[in-house]
Amino acid sequence: MTKARTARRGRSGGGAVRRAERTAVRIETAKYIERNIPNFEILNEEALEIIETNAETILEEIGVNFVDNPPALEVWRNAGADVQGERVHIPRGMARKLCATAPSMIKQRARNPDRNVEIGGRNLVLAPVYGPPFVRDIEGGRRYATMEDFQNFVKLTYMSKWVHHSGGTVCEPTDVAVNKRHLDMLLAHMTLSDKPYMGSVTEPERAVDSVEMSKLLFGADFVDQNTVMTSLININSPLTFDSIMMGALEVYAKANQACIISPFIVGGAMAPVSVAGTLAQVLAEVLAGVAYSQLIRAGAPVVFGAFVTSIDMNSGAPTFGTPEASQITFGAGQLARRLGLPYRSGGSFCGSKLPDAQAGYETANSLNTALLSGVNFMLHSCGWLEGGLVSSYEKFVMDADQLGILHHMARGVDASENGQAMDAIREVGPGGHYLGCAHTQENFKTAFWRSDLLDYKPYETWEDEGARDTETLAAVRVKKLLADYQPPAIDPAVNEALHDYVARKKASVPDAFV
Amino acid sequence: MTKARTARRGRSGGGAVRRAERTAVRIETAKYIERNIPNFEILNEEALEIIETNAETILEEIGVNFVDNPPALEVWRNAGADVQGERVHIPRGMARKLCATAPSMIKQRARNPDRNVEIGGRNLVLAPVYGPPFVRDIEGGRRYATMEDFQNFVKLTYMSKWVHHSGGTVCEPTDVAVNKRHLDMLLAHMTLSDKPYMGSVTEPERAVDSVEMSKLLFGADFVDQNTVMTSLININSPLTFDSIMMGALEVYAKANQACIISPFIVGGAMAPVSVAGTLAQVLAEVLAGVAYSQLIRAGAPVVFGAFVTSIDMNSGAPTFGTPEASQITFGAGQLARRLGLPYRSGGSFCGSKLPDAQAGYETANSLNTALLSGVNFMLHSCGWLEGGLVSSYEKFVMDADQLGILHHMARGVDASENGQAMDAIREVGPGGHYLGCAHTQENFKTAFWRSDLLDYKPYETWEDEGARDTETLAAVRVKKLLADYQPPAIDPAVNEALHDYVARKKASVPDAFV
């Protein structure tokens, strides 16, 4: 069984601990996944070399744009790139060489050290959905997300055993001014959860706020010496790096905080309709972005990102859980490993408007691919609906439950004497059954993954209880989790300092909604 | 694009062809999958050797039971096994040696030669659900299956592009006598479809009927010289071979017809709760069964089968789409390849009572595993619901649509010049988009798998059209397919001979319902 860690109750004392233990929902978080299974390698050596060669050709001959960012152009020029206007032509091999200073493993600290994660190697760290402006639940339907929704998703993440990371913009709190909502979002991650979190990237100064608030939470020295945030820097594919994202990257790189440098690919729109072509572009973009981060600060922790979907050529809609997206996800994992960088991809992707069968198929296709692709950090691992427009309460707990499957799959096959179970086979013999044998008695509690949500009841019982579908069962679980939620203990002085910071910053400028 | 084959209209003439072409639903069947991707190998060499050694130990020391079958015991005794009562102890290495005469590739003929399939190698042949006593549809709910349902599922299979094989007991037609329903089932497969099919196994004499009717359909000489059926022989795990299944196997092996020799494993009940233990038992069972088939007729075509699920230790219910079942499916594939036999496993497995999100997750987990496990014949690839108790109309078309994903995934990554798309990347450049570029125009029709069922519409359109979930969309497709169905042409004399055979056999004995 994956080692589960009971939440530290800190200052809440013995009484609170005993009360918490009486609640049905236990707050425990599994350790991040440490794979004991191979990765699925879809590309052969020849294809890998072709793609790597093409990526270098793209960088040298076509180049990449660093837009509205003269200092970045100066950095590139000084490094030896051929800069023409905003176009940076990177000589063959130069970007890959610069990438070599990026660490292959990132240890991100949480305020509860039991929740620290290590992103890289054979590990897989799971974080929730990021970015949707809408939420959906079974009773309220689809509506704009609010700060209350945001807090609810942070709470659900905190209470989800198989989710290791609190994520970032679990939904867009549209009822808070655009120029201030990052403060409330950070405050929620820092105070309602003790799992590691992401910083703001929507303006460089919001990245600064993220670093400052982290210093209040962890102490300034600690933040100087440790990575306490992993933030999402999207590339404007094809081949374009905008000044806002690069500005946030610069802040984080200088502060030694981690960034995911991630092409955002809707195949057929932002990349070619072919897998090998898309992979060459993705690799070129990541090489350029990571190289730039290392020019800002050699050794800055960065992740090879790939957000990949494809377009439906009939309707223009993005599609999810498709075989082409899976192939790119598999291939990008191989490219990331050859580059020696941690890899971010995958998620609970679906295009469905409802948490229905379509959502289930598409999400499972995506999650399985991510596991076998060697992904090290999976953003969007639960709660994603409607192509990322919606954070779904019910789908959140459905997906979070499925993440247990990834943990158990990754354990691999136990070929020890106990795993071989020859005593059991001898004991039971032909025609018998294993339900009561000694080996079963000793192992059944940890032998099989078990859903905390899905229906396993006899048909008649299920029918008597209302013939509930998965969404209905999930709605019950959402309510129970939110009702049972208790915040992790926090030093009152730290809590106050964070609230003060947020209040002060909010008071210092008028609201802006663009 | 996978090569699609338009149905031959045979005698129906030009007018019928033109009429058929005007219907929206085209009757085309993709060629069976020929993988251009690697298999996922979850077991390392050491684990494989341990499991293979343990399987031999099981056969030699524990043995297997051939129940109520003195001739089989005699066969084993003559082959050199140590027979004690009904228990057959097979000396280490003997079963594997006997398996060597079984072919590694099985060419099964269909009455339409365009539908022939080759089971083995890197191929994957897809067949529908097998065995449920119930059906479900959105309007009628769950009810006992009838012969009309059976015919409907044969029609749906015939019309499903990604399903290559008509299967066998697509549901149990409970309104026909148990001792006669096999005749009606075979007649349906032979006349309502032109895809390859399975024979009856529920009594040896029903296997004889299957061979006789096949001779009417194909001609006696053709059946003598070719494999025209692949039938399902379940092993009563653990380690027990009953006389009915072995009787059917004997009929088919002597007639050179293919059999899947398949342990039926609910882990924790019919096998140990551990993966390595289960795999050793599965391998022992398959070795014994395949060896027996080769003792009946050396060279008889057989498939290494593994039906695998695990039990929910709290409720005793079988569970599907679990990581343990996937691990066993991956491992059994490796064992089958080392034995040089075609491999049957996987399916659209789920425990859900409804075609809802649970069904989607569990099914996608199972289908993805089957593809990457190197399965050569996937029974139950569409339509399975509620742990196999129910053939679902809606889930049938949902699953059948998802099977297109397996076809596209298996194509692998095209690293040709066109696949590399460097011209497109040059043409579009930084900040552009690929929607209109020459490479997209040339490739978009075949670049991406596209669902024929799932919702890709804008939110507002989808809402205006009734905010339909996947099940509702699937129900529309079921009705359209059945309304559009037209039987493939058949020689009237053959058709009459088949109907005569069925009528004569049915009249020859009274109905029996046990």
pLDDT band at B27 (very low <50, low <70, confident <90, very high): confident
Chain A residues close to B359, C-beta within 8 Å: 357, 360
- At A170, list the tokens: 């679990």
Contact A416, A164 (CB under 8 A): no
Say how many CB pairs under 8 Å bridge A and B. 412
Q: Tell me the one-letter amino acid at A201.
A: V
A355 touches chain B (CB under 8 A): yes
Coil, strand or helix at A93: coil
CB contact under 8 A, A360 and B358: yes
pLDDT band at A298 (very low <50, low <70, confident <90, very high): very high
Coil, strand or helix at A317: coil
Cα separations (Å) of B98 from B34, B57, B101, B232, B286? 28, 17, 6, 21, 12
Compute the CA torsion angle B414, B416, B422, B424 (nearest 10 deg).
-70
Mutate to test the interface with B, among A35, A422, A444, A445 (most CBs of B within 10 A): A422
The answer to which of A108-112, A265-269, B148-152, B506-510 has the lowest mean pLDDT is A265-269
Q: What is the pLDDT of residues B422-454, one digit of tens each?
A: 999 999 999 999 999 999 999 999 999 999 999
Chain B residues close to A456, C-beta within 8 Å: 312, 314-315, 317, 319, 351
Partner-chain residue, chosen from B354, B425, B451, that has the shortest CB–CB distance to A58: B425
pLDDT band at A315 (very low <50, low <70, confident <90, very high): confident
A461 touches chain B (CB under 8 A): no
Instruction: Nearest chain A residue to B420 by CA: give it.
Output: A277
Judged against a pLDDT cut of 80, whether residue B2 lies above it is answered with no
Partner-chain residue, chosen from A67, A273, A312, that has the shortest CB–CB distance to B440: A273
A112 touches chain B (CB under 8 A): no
**Cβ burial, residue A514 (10 Å; 0-12/13-18/19+):** exposed
CB contact under 8 A, A42 and B46: no
A454 touches chain B (CB under 8 A): yes
B363 touches chain A (CB under 8 A): yes
Judged against a pLDDT cut of 50, whether residue A239 lies above it is answered with yes
Alpha-carbon gap, residue B341 to B336, rounded angstroms: 5
Judged against a pLDDT cut of 50, whether residue A436 lies above it is answered with yes
CB contact under 8 A, B360 and A365: no
DSSP per-residue string spanning A58-84: IIIII-EEETT-HHHHHHHHHHT-EEE
pLDDT of residue A15: 52
- B-facing residues of A in 31-60 (CB < 8 A) are 37-38, 40-43, 46-47, 50-51, 54, 57-58
Contact B458, A317 (CB under 8 A): yes
Alpha-carbon gap, residue B258 to B303, rounded angstroms: 8
A444 touches chain B (CB under 8 A): yes
Coil, strand or helix at A143: strand
DSSP per-residue string spanning A204-237: HHHHHHHHHHHHHHH-HHHHHHSB-BEEEEEEBT
Chain A residues close to B402, C-beta within 8 Å: 361
- At B382, list the tokens: 């569409």
Instruction: Nearest chain A residue to B367 by CA: give it.
Output: A365
Q: Which of B43, B80, B61, B103 lies closest to B339, judged by CA?
A: B103
Which residue matches tokens 């005794």?
A: B77
Q: Nearest CA to CA, how far is B94 from chain A (Å)?
A: 19
Those residues with Cβ within 8 angstroms of residue A427's Cβ, 6 or more apart along the chain or in another chain? A437, A438, A439
Judged against a pLDDT cut of 50, whether residue B4 lies above it is answered with no
Average pLDDT, rounded, for chain A: 94
> What does DSSP say about strands B64-66 and B87-89: parallel, antiparallel, or unpaired?
antiparallel
Chain A residues close to B237, C-beta within 8 Å: none
Chain B residues close to A439, C-beta within 8 Å: 272-274, 277
Q: Give, for A278, the enclosing helix (H) or strand (E).
A: helix A275-296
Judged against a pLDDT cut of 60, whether residue B20 lies above it is answered with no
Q: Tell me the one-letter amino acid at A30.
A: A
CB contact under 8 A, A408 and B239: no
A445 touches chain B (CB under 8 A): yes
Q: Which of B345, B327, B235 lies closest to B290, judged by CA?
A: B235
The answer to which of A25-39, A261-275, B334-348 has the lowest mean pLDDT is A25-39
pLDDT of residue B15: 52
Instruction: Nearest chain A residue to B365 by CA: give it.
Output: A364
> In the predicted model, what is the mean pLDDT of residues B486-509?
97
Instruction: Nearest chain A residue to B456 by CA: give it.
Output: A317
pLDDT of residue B22: 46
> What does DSSP say about strands A64-66 and A240-241: parallel, antiparallel, or unpaired?
parallel
Chain A residues close to B277, C-beta within 8 Å: 419-422, 424-425, 439
pLDDT of residue A313: 84
Judged against a pLDDT cut of 80, whether residue A24 lies above it is answered with no
CA A87 vs. chain centroid, Å, equals 31
Please tell me whether the interface predicted TM-score (ipTM) of this complex is above 0.85. Answer: yes
Instruction: Nearest chain A residue to B428 by CA: give it.
Output: A238
> In the predicted model, what is the mean pLDDT of residues A118-142?
98
B409 touches chain A (CB under 8 A): yes
pLDDT of residue B26: 53
> In the predicted model, what is the mean pLDDT of residues A484-492?
96
Q: Which of A411, A331, A346 lies closest to A376, judged by CA?
A: A346
B123 touches chain A (CB under 8 A): no
Alpha-carbon gap, residue A341 to A339, rounded angstroms: 6
A436 touches chain B (CB under 8 A): no
Contact B49, B338 (CB under 8 A): no
Q: Nearest CA to CA, how far is A183 from chain B (Å)?
A: 31
Percent of chain B scoring above 70 in pLDDT: 95
Cα separations (Å) of B448 from B150, B164, B405? 33, 21, 10
Q: What is the pLDDT of residues B227-263, one digit of tens each?
A: 999 999 999 999 999 999 999 999 999 999 999 999 9
Average pLDDT, rounded, for chain B: 94
B402 touches chain A (CB under 8 A): yes
CB contact under 8 A, A409 and B323: yes
CB contact under 8 A, B315 and A457: yes
Q: Nearest CA to CA, how far is B211 from chain A (Å)?
A: 31
Partner-chain residue, chosen from A357, A431, A456, that has the shortest CB–CB distance to B471: A357
Judged against a pLDDT cut of 90, whether residue A288 lies above it is answered with yes
pLDDT band at A338 (very low <50, low <70, confident <90, very high): very high
Q: What is the pLDDT of residues A396-422, one digit of tens each?
A: 999 999 999 999 999 999 999 999 999
Percent of chain A scoring above 70 in pLDDT: 95
B144 touches chain A (CB under 8 A): no
Chain A residues close to B454, C-beta within 8 Å: 351-352, 358, 361-362
Q: What is the pLDDT of residues B403-419, one digit of tens each?
A: 999 999 999 999 999 99
Partner-chain residue, chosen from B87, B315, B360, that has the shortest CB–CB distance to A456: B315
Q: What is the pLDDT of residues B113-136, one digit of tens each?
A: 999 999 999 999 999 999 999 999
Backbone φ and ψ of B91, nearest 5°: -55, 145
Chain A residues close to B398, C-beta within 8 Å: 357, 361
The number of beta carbons lying within 10 Å of the beta carbon of residue B174 is 19
Contact B350, B358 (CB under 8 A): yes
Alpha-carbon gap, residue B384 to B449, rounded angstroms: 23
Percent of chain A scoring above 90 in pLDDT: 93
Judged against a pLDDT cut of 60, whether residue A12 lies above it is answered with no
3-state helix, strand, coil in chain A (%, to 5): 45, 15, 35
Q: What is the pLDDT of residues A362-400, one digit of tens each?
A: 999 999 999 999 999 999 999 999 999 999 999 999 999
Compute the CA torsion angle B18, B19, B21, B23 (nearest 10 deg).
170
| Farthest-apart Cα atoms in chain B, separation | 78
Number of alpha carbons in the 13 Å side-chain half-sphere of residue B80: 8
Chain A residues close to B386, C-beta within 8 Å: 459
Mutate to test the interface with A, among B35, B67, B144, B273 (most CBs of A within 10 A): B273
pLDDT of residue A27: 76
Contact B309, B318 (CB under 8 A): yes
A179 touches chain B (CB under 8 A): no
- At A382, list the tokens: 């639960």
Q: What is the pLDDT of residues B75-94, one digit of tens each?
A: 999 999 999 999 999 999 99
Instruction: Nearest chain A residue to B395 by CA: give it.
Output: A357
**A33, β-bridge pairs:** A124
A434 touches chain B (CB under 8 A): yes
Secondary structure (H, E, C), A411-477: CCCCCCHHHHCHHHHHHHCCCCCCCCCHHHHHHHHHHCCCCCCCCCCCHHHHHHCCCCCHHHHHHHH
H helices of B134-242, in order, are 147-159, 181-192, 204-218, 220-225
Partner-chain residue, chosen from B386, B424, B449, that has the shortest CB–CB distance to A322: B449
**Cβ burial, residue A243 (10 Å; 0-12/13-18/19+):** middle
**Cβ burial, residue A510 (10 Å; 0-12/13-18/19+):** exposed
Q: What is the pLDDT of residues B276-310, one digit of tens each?
A: 999 999 999 999 999 999 999 999 999 999 999 99
Contact A28, A159 (CB under 8 A): no
Contact A266, A313 (CB under 8 A): no
CB contact under 8 A, A439 and B274: yes
B366 touches chain A (CB under 8 A): no
Judged against a pLDDT cut of 90, whether residue B14 lies above it is answered with no
Within A247-346, strands assigned E span: 258-267, 302-305, 307-311, 318-319, 343-344
- B-facing residues of A in 218-237 (CB < 8 A) are 236
Q: What is the pLDDT of residues B306-346, one digit of tens each?
A: 999 999 988 889 999 999 999 999 999 999 999 999 999 99
> In the predicted model, what is the mean pLDDT of residues A431-458?
94
Q: What is the pLDDT of residues A267-286, one digit of tens each?
A: 999 999 999 999 999 999 99
The number of beta carbons lying within 10 Å of the beta carbon of residue B84 is 10
The answer to which of A27-31, A260-264, A465-469 has the lowest mean pLDDT is A27-31
Partner-chain residue, chosen from B42, B268, B422, that has the shortest CB–CB distance to A54: B422
Q: Nearest CA to CA, how far is A493 from chain B (Å)?
A: 45
pLDDT band at B5 (very low <50, low <70, confident <90, very high): very low
Contact A388, A131 (CB under 8 A): yes
- At B178, list the tokens: 């148990």
